[in-house]
Amino acid sequence: MKTKMVNPFIESKKACDVFINHRGIDTKRTIATLLYDHLSWLNLQPFLDNKNMKPGDKLFDNIDNAIRNCKIGVTVFSPNYCKSYFCLHELALFMESKKKVIPIFCDIKPSELRIVNNGNVPLKDLERFNLALEEAKYTVGLTFNSSKGNLSDVVKNASEIVIESLIEMESEQKIRRKEVESPIKSGFGRPLLLVRT
């Protein structure tokens, strides 16, 4: 009798609840990983590149797929965030997909977010990135100052906002499903037939 081995690392193929967009050199070992671990502990399916991907995975394919299939995004803005093509690409994909994004401004103010273009960003991407960044600047988020703040507080607050947002989204989906499923009733409690003329 043969047994089939199941690979536990095929997480990136599943739809995730929350995609964590961040600049690795600034926040991977702090907010991003702590948030991932906390959301996992709460039985959610977060996506963080170094936790969900494995050697050999196609970077853009996996990340783009995770963003398109996630329910919500958390973007951790930091001083080096706007220097990363990948971060800006992910942010633009969130905004283009009309996903809800919860910003965390870590050691940076929204007004300080500016794209750093050393001539290596194609013009069409530069326009996408600027539009996404402008939209994110005017989205209410959390702020965190690493020299004064408590990491556990910002992680807890972000997690609570994610959970509230997911519950809200689920409620809205249930309402829409009920509206689609329930027939229009006449004043006598019977289905009303609509005839086009």
Active centre residues (catalytic): 90
For 7-85, strand residue ranges (E) read: 18-22, 46-47, 72-77
In the three-class reduction of DSSP (H, G, I as helix; E, B as strand; rest coil), residue 159 is classed as helix
- In degrees and rounded to multiples of 5, residue 34 shows phi and psi of -65, -40
Q: Which residues pair with 74 in a beta bridge?
A: 20, 102
> What's the CA gap between 41 and 36, in Å, rounded?
9
b/e code 45-84 from CB counts within 10 Å (16+ = b): ebbbbebbbeeeeeeeebbebbbeebbbbbbbbbebbbeb
Task: Please return the burial class of 36, using the count of CB atoms within 10 Å of its CB with bins 0-12, 13-18 and 19+.
Answer: buried
